[in-house]
Amino acid sequence: MKILLTGANGFLGKSIINELSQDNNHIFCLSRTSGDYAVELEKEIPVFKESFDLIIHAAGKAHSVPKSEEEKKKFRDINVRGTANLLLGLEKVNQPKQFVFISSVSVYGQEFGIDIKEDFPLAAKDPYGRSKIEAEKIITDWCKANNIICTILRLPLLVGKNPPGNLGAMIKAIKGGYYFNIANGKARKSMVSIKDVASFISVVAPTGGIFNLTDGIHPSFFELSYAISKKKSFSLPLILAKIMGKIGDLVGDKSPITSSKVKKITTDLTFDDSKARKLLNWKPEPVLNYLKNETF
């Protein structure tokens, strides 16, 4: 197949290239600074020299908390306008048969919950989650209008070599010796390996649909930190953490611990992936197995 992959230089993008190139696919890479198409999608409409069978749209802005209106605007510019410009570029060549969009469980807008399904209301209020909702709608409408099989993958925390975001920060803290759990690290969070997501794309793309993808285990912070460090991490009592959070609230967002952060760390947030398991035989590897065998 001729495949266009946006966000080719990203954490997930590199894994997608590795997985799909094994099947003799011809992968065309689009990223901001390199690849077959070096394009800043939020600023320009790409000019494609060929048409494609499959589009995998993995480009986007994430892994940051906006501290100004300008930073908030960047989420919409990159994730929404960038998506619209991609589609405008594709309209000038023969239409693909399949389109896969890498979205996020952030669209649900929840900070806690158990086994949230795909039909849960899209209630995100933050700039990132809202931008993903808008991008999903643009893509869904465009695919429907052009009779293209549309897939939306809503992903939780991604696990792999040298991860960005919260998991990367956690690994850094553990390596630096300053990581600690709160309330024995009992809270569970959904996660999934980038390798499993990448290999699933070729399975789901011909079918289409909206799918949550997780490892089905939803590790606790204790299990996660133990798999990474190979030893028990110090645990801060919840009451002490709440006091520290109150003090952190006075300091502001720059504080390493606030009441909001304490609540996120001590409450479960998991997503249901039974739809993918039942319809498409989704059988991912538990991320704890990967982490136990990884060297940090």
CA angle 268, 270, 273 (to 5 degrees): 165
pLDDT of residue 295: 77
Helix ranges (H only) for the chain are 11-20, 69-76, 82-90, 127-145, 165-176, 194-204, 221-229, 238-251, 259-265, 274-280, 287-293
CA distances from 178 to 65, 108, 133, 173, 291 (A): 22, 32, 36, 5, 19
Q: What is the pTM of this model?
A: 0.94
- 152 with 200: CB under 8 angstroms? no
The pLDDT of residue 168 is 92
Give tens-digit pLDDT for 7-66. Answer: 999 999 999 999 998 888 999 999 999 999 999 999 999 999 999 999 999 999 987 777
Structural domains for the chain: 2-159+193-214 (3.40.50.720)
Confidence class of residue 67 from pLDDT cuts 50, 70 and 90? confident
Average confidence (pLDDT) over 75-83: 96
pLDDT of residue 23: 82
Q: Look at residue 296 and tell me whether its pLDDT is greater than 80.
A: no
Tens of pLDDT, residues 256-285 = 788 988 998 999 999 999 999 999 999 999
Bridging pattern class, strands 37-38 and 26-31? parallel
